[in-house]
Chain A
């Protein structure tokens, strides 16, 4: 069966139909170029920025690389078109989909069918033997792609004889996996007592096998119907890079470290040629000794940035549950970077948690302590922003000055209570800068009980923020907002 099978799916098959089904190579205008342009279009439709210069690079690269090898071909494209780890992953997914479809389209257009599809019909397939073979293949070190695909085809035909498929490819794949009794190994940490399950196979290899089965099923479907189904856009789930909680926390810490620098320089560019205006006479004279007493180079006194004072208010009510882990990790990171920081959590009332962060280093301990503290702030479970501003102003009224920045993390949903925007305005006026980070998409602001607009007027900047990337956007935006307002002036 393997001999009559198609060439590697996608391995330049789009350009060279001779590899597929033994057809003579037909001259096509432009050869590879139109396919590559289509591919770039598809990447753009998935949200990757592919410019003309990158495409030219890709062409140049393909001239230098033997693109009959699938891996080199793909690597050459990744190296020139993809510009980040996310891009690389996206490109891999689109690559598989695109070239699989390109080959199938070619086959449909030319009316090529796989010959001898039913050739093995006389010999019944022994399911147990097949199961053993697949299991061995999955456990052995990675072999050729073709072997695994042949096994996938065998599995499909064995399964097909047991009864008709459901017609839904995703369901069929899982049925085939269960029929074969294939189980993924548990990951290292959750290994049960007594070592590995002898039945199980490495998880990534199993996924690989499932992909093969899926692709073969799709191929068979295309051949039966003689047409290509429309391409499905990638799901977010597939796109996202795998991460862990601790690494997310580390990412937040990195971004907040940038935030500290931005706030410290307060939007003023002090690097490069724009130095501090005060000449350091002692050091200049000392240096001038080298040049015979002529002060050729001036030394300046370094400009010491004033330490920013930060007040952070974090909503921990149930309406922001999904974002609160993120918010707490932002708070945790802020405490790592800033000395002069006071943090508050609030639901119906406000509660200062600065000392909790100063006492505890580990994020888990802090979260636990805050959960306990939030109980103090939480009376009815409904946020009362108006009351929060009143209490906040009362607690910090003497300390708030133009040097301080106030950051609010919350969704501005008042549950129908008085928002007291005028009190918030007083807070914003006394503080140097006020920012608001809202964990809801901008679209939902001011709908229902959200009173974002009432507060937005008094802030120096409001941002959607529930991912690290958006936090980074916030940090960059702060730098663009320019120097701190002079006290007294209002926005």
Chain B
């Protein structure tokens, strides 16, 4: 049931229904992406829900998700299409005896022998899909240049076949961790969405949504601690994904309260650097002992 969002509110409600709490800008950009048919470049720190947004969009719109995970050295053969040599060879062997070369040649460069990779399959799909190009900043500039044709005209040129144009318009999301500056040409073709760490209220909602078993009091305290930890100058501040993991761990452990001891034993879930661990123990652990956190909890 491919659904079209008609308004920003509808987009937000749709994402909500798919288990993703969207704030104003997320809802607006998702709506615009669909309305204008433009790809969205999503940037932000690791673990704020960039990839999750694409999954939620695919659930909310009822479209299939086609995912292309980028890495260094990714090339056309793995992203766009490849000729199926083996099948071509078999064909030649079968036909060799009774058909001329000309016929065979016309034959073996047909769609039958094409192995579509994520980008081509997203474009040639009968049903509109959500195309996620994950961590685009991990690829080389050459690959970015190749993407331009796909992203702006939604078509792929195959020398032997001609141009394959999109039958349906995919909803494209590109994510980047900003480990490399992307080219202007690519950015110009995209809408830009910056995802940041959420405020306390929104994070509380997210944690509650994903771990309903955790008590209100605990969730609030957890969010307060996580927010405080993020304010420290850390190498790698905890992400939303990690605070959800932490919440789940606390539920599994059956913890009753977050005190300095609980923090110390479970801290490794949200903190991933040794120097960061020390800093958090120093700064936050002390406050938990003194009961400074959680004293402000809302009734």
Task: Report if A247 contacts B (CB, 8 A).
Answer: yes
Which residues, 223 to 267 on A, are CB-close (under 8 Å) to B?
244-247, 249-250, 254, 258, 261
Is the CB–CB distance between B234 and A246 below 8 Å? Answer: yes
* A84-B234 contact given A49-B184, A64-B32, CB 8 Å threshold: no
Which residues, 18 to 71 on B, are CB-close (under 8 Å) to A?
24-25, 28-29, 31-32, 35-36, 38, 41, 43
Task: Report if B153 contacts A (CB, 8 A).
Answer: no
Q: Which residues of B contact A (CB under 8 A)?
A: 8, 24-25, 28-29, 31-32, 35-36, 38, 41, 43, 72-73, 75, 85-86, 89, 140, 142, 178-181, 184, 187-194, 201, 228, 231-236, 274-276, 283, 287, 292, 295
Kindly list chain A residues whose C-beta atoms are within 8 Å of the C-beta of B140: 271
Task: Report if A362 contacts B (CB, 8 A).
Answer: yes
Kindly list chain B residues whose C-beta atoms are within 8 Å of the C-beta of A361: 274-275
Task: Write 17 A-B pairs (CB below 8 A) sorted by A numbering.
Answer: A51-B188, A53-B189, A72-B28, A75-B28, A79-B193, A80-B192, A83-B41, A83-B184, A87-B192, A187-B231, A195-B292, A244-B234, A245-B233, A246-B233, A254-B179, A291-B85, A296-B89
**Closest chain B CB from A402 CB (angstroms):** 27
Task: Report if A163 contacts B (CB, 8 A).
Answer: no
Which among A65, A84, A87, A296 is the interface contact of B28 at CB below 8 angstroms? A65
**Closest chain A CB from B97 CB (angstroms):** 16
| Stretch in A54-62, A145-153, A380-388 touching the partner | A54-62
Is the CB–CB distance between A83 and B192 below 8 Å? Answer: yes
Task: Report if A351 contacts B (CB, 8 A).
Answer: no
Kindly list chain A residues whose C-beta atoms are within 8 Å of the C-beta of B28: 65, 72, 75-76, 79
* A64-B31 contact given A189-B283, A195-B295, CB 8 Å threshold: yes
Is the CB–CB distance between B188 and A61 below 8 Å? Answer: no
Which among B178, B189, B192, B232 is the interface contact of A189 at CB below 8 angstroms? B232
CA A84 – CA B287 in complex, angstroms?
36
CA A80 – CA B85 in complex, angstroms?
43
Task: Report if A78 contacts B (CB, 8 A).
Answer: yes
Is the CB–CB distance between A272 and B194 below 8 Å? Answer: no
Is the CB–CB distance between B188 and A83 below 8 Å? Answer: yes
Kindly list chain B residues whose C-beta atoms are within 8 Å of the C-beta of A191: 287, 292
Is the CB–CB distance between B232 and A78 below 8 Å? Answer: no
Kindly list chain A residues whose C-beta atoms are within 8 Å of the C-beta of B194: 85, 88
Is the CB–CB distance between B32 and A79 below 8 Å? Answer: yes
Kindly list chain A residues whose C-beta atoms are within 8 Å of the C-beta of B190: 83
Task: Report if A352 contacts B (CB, 8 A).
Answer: no
Give how many A-B residue pairs fall within 8 Å (CB-CB): 110
A interface: dominant SS? helix
Q: Which residues of A contact B (CB under 8 A)?
A: 49, 51, 53-54, 57, 60-61, 64-65, 71-72, 75-76, 78-80, 82-85, 87-88, 141, 187-189, 191, 195, 244-247, 249-250, 254, 258, 261, 271-273, 290-291, 294, 296-297, 361-362, 472
Which among B179, B188, B233 is the interface contact of A244 at CB below 8 angstroms? B233
Is the CB–CB distance between B192 and A82 below 8 Å? Answer: yes
Kindly list chain A residues whose C-beta atoms are within 8 Å of the C-beta of B192: 78-80, 82-84, 87-88
CA A75 – CA B23 in complex, angstroms?
11
**Closest chain B CB from A78 CB (angstroms):** 7
The 8 A-B residue pairs whose C-beta atoms are closest, nearest first, are: A244-B233, A83-B187, A64-B35, A246-B233, A79-B191, A75-B28, A79-B29, A75-B25
Is the CB–CB distance between B85 and A296 below 8 Å? Answer: yes
From A51, A60, A188, A254, name the one whose CB has the most chain B CB atoms within 10 angstroms. A188
CA A121 – CA B197 in complex, angstroms?
46
Kindly list chain A residues whose C-beta atoms are within 8 Å of the C-beta of B181: 472
CA A57 – CA B189 in complex, angstroms?
9
**Closest chain B CB from A204 CB (angstroms):** 10
B279 to chain A: closest residue by CB: A246
CA A82 – CA B180 in complex, angstroms?
17
Kindly list chain A residues whose C-beta atoms are within 8 Å of the C-beta of B85: 291, 296-297
Kindly list chain A residues whose C-beta atoms are within 8 Å of the C-beta of B180: 258
A54 to chain B: closest residue by CB: B188
CA A141 – CA B201 in complex, angstroms?
10
**Closest chain A CB from B288 CB (angstroms):** 13
* A247-B233 contact given A188-B228, A272-B75, CB 8 Å threshold: yes
Is the CB–CB distance between B89 and A246 below 8 Å? Answer: no
* A291-B89 contact given A65-B28, A195-B295, CB 8 Å threshold: yes
Kindly list chain A residues whose C-beta atoms are within 8 Å of the C-beta of B191: 57, 61, 79-80
* A271-B32 contact given A72-B24, A83-B187, A246-B235, CB 8 Å threshold: no
